[in-house]
Amino acid sequence: MRLGMVIDRKRCIGCYSCQISCKAAHALPPDVFFGRVLVSETGTYPTVTKQILPVLCNHCKEAACVKVCPTGATQKREDGIVYVNSEECVGCRYCIVACPYQMRTYNSDGNKEYWPGQGLTELERVGREILYPLEPNTVIKCNFCMEKLDEGLRKGLKIGIDREATPTCVNACPVKARTFGDLDDPNSNVSKLIKERKGYPLHSELGTEPSVYYLD
């Protein structure tokens, strides 16, 4: 099994639901996002086209971040998910430099407030201390909601099919622009979309073999 995601750019409307739902689910501090929606324009007025590109960690098969990590904190699971073990991360940030997709963040202050000087709100406290604690002075990133996937598997649910076994950003998309599943299974939804719609990864020339594909 190699888990991956397909993002349909024709469906995406740039609503930021994926970005905000991920931030809420992981109780991320200010200015930190595991996924982003990049918006730009091409062409010359009055013929201008809006370009929308959702980005996140690509969970590369040949992940540069894994290779450069001196402590082994950045690891790749058998299902292809690349994650950071915060207990082993020393905050050297080699992985940030090595990542060609710029989708890692150094969490320098685990207590940064949304309303400075007023203390953490009850929601912030519960999120950071109980639901999804993040270690300060470590690198953090998207992990395909692996805790959620693991819990779903324990319940006998199907990854990418059942909502409780699917990444939050996929569930939040109102136009179903995101699909999640097993890239190694030729009959999975992601594999079929890539084949039928000629899906492509970003910067394939780098040889990292990303697990996130795009459809135009």
CATH number reported for the structural domain that contains residue 8 in this entry: 3.30.70.20
**CA 20/CA 150 separation, integer angstroms:** 22
Predicted confidence at residue 64, as pLDDT, reads 96
Helices in the chain by DSSP H: which ranges? 17-25, 64-68, 94-98, 122-126, 146-154, 168-172, 189-197
Distances (CA, A) of 119 to 123, 127, 130, 136, 204: 11, 14, 17, 17, 45
Task: Please write the tens of the pLDDT for every residue from 175-211.
Answer: 999 999 999 999 999 999 999 999 999 999 999 999 9
Per-residue model confidence as pLDDT tens digits over 65-100 = 999 999 999 999 999 999 999 999 999 999 999 999
Give the chain's largest Cα–Cα span. Answer: 54
One-letter amino acid for residue 85 of the chain:
N
Confidence of residue 139 (pLDDT cuts 50, 70, 90): very high
Write the CB contacts of 96 (distance below 8 Å, at least 6 apart in sequence).
102, 104, 105, 106, 139
3-state secondary structure at position 159: coil
Q: Could you tell me the two tokens for 7?
A: 């993002």
Are 188 and 198 within 8 A, CB to CB?
no
> DSSP secondary-structure letter at 166?
S
Tokens standing for 40?
């730009």
203 φ, ψ to 5°? 50, 55
Mean pLDDT of 50-57: 96
User: Which residues fall within 8 angstroms of residue 147, CB to CB, at 6 or more apart?
Assistant: none
Closest CA to 35 of 147, 183, 116, 140: 140
- The pLDDT, as a whole number, for residue 118 is 86
pLDDT at 114 over 90: no
Count of domains observed in the chain: 1
Could you tell me the pTM of the whole model?
A: 0.93
User: What's the distance, CA 9 to chain centroid?
Assistant: 16
The residue range of the domain holding 18 is 3-215
